[in-house]
Amino acid sequence: MKKTLSLVLAFCMICSIIAVVPAIQASAHATDPDGNALSKADFIIDVGHGGNDPGAMSTVLGGNRKESEDVLRLALATARLIIQSGSTVAMTRYTDETVSLTQRTDMANAGSYSYFVSIHRNACGTANLATGIETYYHNSQSSTSVSAKLATSVQNAAIGVGCWANRGVKTSNFHVTRESNMPAILIEYSFIDNASDNQKFDQYFDQNAKAIANGMLAMIGKSVTDAKTVSAPSVTVASTSAHNQSINVSWGAVTNATSYNYTATVYEGEMSATTGKTIVSSSTTGTSFTIPAQASGKYVKVSVTAVGPNNKAETVKSVMLGKDAVYPTDVQYIPVADVNGSQSVSNSTVWNSSVGTAFGMTWWRAFVCSPNADGTYTVNSIYENGVAKSVSVTGTNVLWAIHSGYTGYDVAATIVVGDKLTFCGVYIDNKTVRGTGYVLVNGGVALHPDDLTLSDATVAVEDDFLVGVGIGDTGSEIVSKFNESADYVKVYDAAGAEVTGGVVCTGYTVNLVVNSEVVKSITIIISGDVNGDGAIGSSDILVVSGAVDGSSKLNDVFSKAGDIDGSGTVTSTDYMALCNKI
């Protein structure tokens, strides 16, 4: 029933799109909504048209609307709802790419998928003449077949949105329903050349996606679950603790968390030890627990997991124990290589008054410290490297000295009077100093950043968006705008690939990556780059024009890129401002 409304306008639009954004070639396999290969799933969604085939096109209300774009938005939203509900779904395309009919069914038949759903929009060739939704299964199958039941389920759910005319469940000889080896349907989700249908498509977009998802999920006895995810809890626990002393662990309440699982495991070896004894393992609806005092062990590994309706998120911390040396993994420390050794051979040494001999030094930096009630030592005086001195230690004070040529000296060189030192694995009493270990300065400095902070005032972070990025900025230029090391700041494109020398686009993200995990992500917004291709051109103007007259709808990322004047809404003022940018 579909016809192109205007051959001339369609030809011009196709030429314009080809000129601005080269067609993407089809993937060789089905993927999840993020582009990862997925050969087995409960469902496979076939997203109609794409790439060099825009499908039905409409200029209703002065817009320039393509079926391929509408159905991609709808299919992606439907797929994510299915995933959030605990089921799996693959797609024949997840971006604007050209996929032939044969490729679509080959993808479906090559994998293991229970149901095939092809999503399209309809057109009749005369504006506003036809309206509503209709769903097809192949005419070789009976009205009691699984395909017919799938078609009825999806059609009824869509009509249940409450705004659509019901054109019914029908049979046809479409390629995708004929050649698919699993139950297959094709839904025509309203008419793209009907102004009222387009308005309903946009206004009730979330309900439309939920309806299709529910119609599909009903086939496996499920329904859409509202997305309520949890993030990893922020855990507070001491980095060091003495033997025979209990340890308190607490965390901030996590939004959507229904409970928290926690464990504490004590390890007898160094930090590389792989076996330990679990001493605490339980669950709570509160936000704290206590680890019983331990008479032995090198360190305790603490795990706290927030449990939500749809996911779990874990945080792991380590607590060093006792007087024996255990080297931390998540803080900066200074090794004490040979405690109480001869100054002629030792790299670092700790003295107290019972040693009874003044420490003479030239190529050492030394710190005389007094003890505190919490077990730390406050630096009271410092003897600089290169100055000949003889230092005696009195009372309960201690002297710590580090050789200028030793690893860790650079950190020691930053210590100032008033800093607090924690001697880990170094046992000091009024008679002797023993053990080998390390020194924490002011509790230890994190070896990796916990957040992204800006060093460049020309850009800013608004909510989770990075604004102020210019056209032509590369991934490495974006990284340089942050205070954190480039080892941790990564720019990813929409498919999750790292971008360094390449130009960034609206929708790309800046990520804080620690141990191969994304700790924080900020979405890049380039004012005027509304279609996310890294440039400003005629295609951006067409998108903004559609948003202004209501014939298309921008999501939060691209709406922000189109909001040139910062009013919070894409209007004709933004359209004019964008025109002036070209």
Residues carrying an active site annotation:
188
Helices (H) and strands (E) in the chain, counts: 12, 34
Alpha-carbon distance of 55 to 363, in angstroms, equals 78
Amino acid at 322: G
Q: Looking at the DSSP assignment, which residues form a beta bridge with residue 191? A: 122
For residue 450, report the phi and psi dihedrals to the nearest 5 degrees.
-105, -5
Instruction: Specify whether the CB–CB gap between 404 and 363 falls below 8 A.
Output: yes
Could you tell me which of 526, 574, 525 has the C-alpha nearest to residue 547? 574
112-122 and 65-66 beta bridge pairing: unpaired
Instruction: Specify whether the CB–CB gap between 526 and 471 falls below 8 A.
Output: yes
Per-residue DSSP letter, 331 = B
Helix (H, G, I), strand (E, B) or coil at 436: coil
Alpha-carbon distance of 370 to 378, in angstroms, equals 5
Alpha-carbon distance of 59 to 255, in angstroms, equals 44
CB proximity list for 301: less than 8 A, separation 6 or greater: 264, 265, 267, 276, 316, 317, 318
Instruction: Specify whether the CB–CB gap between 535 and 561 falls below 8 A.
Output: no
Alpha-carbon distance of 159 to 427, in angstroms, equals 75
- Distances in whole angstroms, Cα of residue 561 to Cα of each of 211, 471, 526, 544: 29, 12, 6, 10
Q: Is 43 exposed, middle or buried (0-12, 13-18, 19+ CB in 10 A)?
A: buried
Q: CB count, 10 Å around CB of 160?
A: 13
Alpha-carbon distance of 563 to 577, in angstroms, equals 10
Amino acid at 89: V
Q: What angle do CA 181, 182, 187 make, to 5 degrees?
A: 110
Instruction: Specify whether the CB–CB gap between 407 and 439 falls below 8 A.
Output: no
Alpha-carbon distance of 500 to 480, in angstroms, equals 11
Residue 216 belongs to what H/E stretch?
helix 205-217
Dihedral, 147, 153, 154, 160 alpha carbons, nearest 10? 160
Instruction: Specify whether the CB–CB gap between 520 and 538 falls below 8 A.
Output: no
Could you tell me which of 362, 434, 353, 440 has the C-alpha nearest to residue 401? 362
